[in-house]
A and B are shown apart, each in its own frame.
Chain A
Amino acid sequence: MVHALENVHRALRPEGLLLDARPDPGNAVVEVVRRGRAAPIGEVDESNRSARVRDVRATMARLVGRGWFARERAVRFVFVSRADSVDAWLAHRAEKGSTSVLDPALVERARALLAQGADLLRIRERVTATRYRQTDRPDRGRPTATA
Chain B
Amino acid sequence: MCFVMDADGAEDRAVHQLVDFRGKHVLEIGCGDGRLTWRYADLAATVLALDPKPEEIDRARARLPATLSGRVTFRVADVTAEELPAAAFDVALFSRSL
CA distance A6 to B15 in the complex (A): 22
> What are 5 A-B pairs with beta-carbon distances under 8 A?
A8-B29, A11-B87, A20-B94, A82-B7, A83-B4
Chain A contact-residue range equals: 35 or more
Greatest chain B CB density within 10 A among A3, A4, A22, A127 is at A4
Q: How far is the CB of B31 from chain A (nearest CB, A)?
A: 13
Chain A residues with CB under 8 Å of chain B are: 1, 3-5, 7-8, 10-14, 16-23, 56, 73, 75, 77-85, 87-89, 91-92, 96-97, 122, 127, 129, 131
- In the A-B complex, the 3 residue pairs with the smallest Cβ-Cβ separation, listed nearest first, are A11-B84, A77-B10, A92-B3
CA distance A92 to B32 in the complex (A): 12
Number of interface residues of B (CB under 8 A): 38
Closest residue of B by beta carbon distance from A76:
B14
For A10, the chain B residues whose CB sits under 8 A away are 84, 86-87
Supposing A80-B6, A84-B1, A92-B3 touch, asked if A21 and B87 sit within 8 A by C-beta, the answer is: no
Closest residue of B by beta carbon distance from A11:
B84
Selected contact of B92 from candidates A16, A75, A78, A81, CB within 8 Å: A16
CA distance A14 to B90 in the complex (A): 8
* Interfacial residues of chain B within 41-95, with CB under 8 A of chain A in the complex: 53, 79-80, 82, 84-95
CA distance A81 to B2 in the complex (A): 11
CA distance A54 to B1 in the complex (A): 34
For A97, the chain B residues whose CB sits under 8 A away are 53
CA distance A52 to B82 in the complex (A): 21
Q: Establish whether residues A85 and B6, one from each chain, have CB atoms under 8 Å apart when the complex forms.
A: no
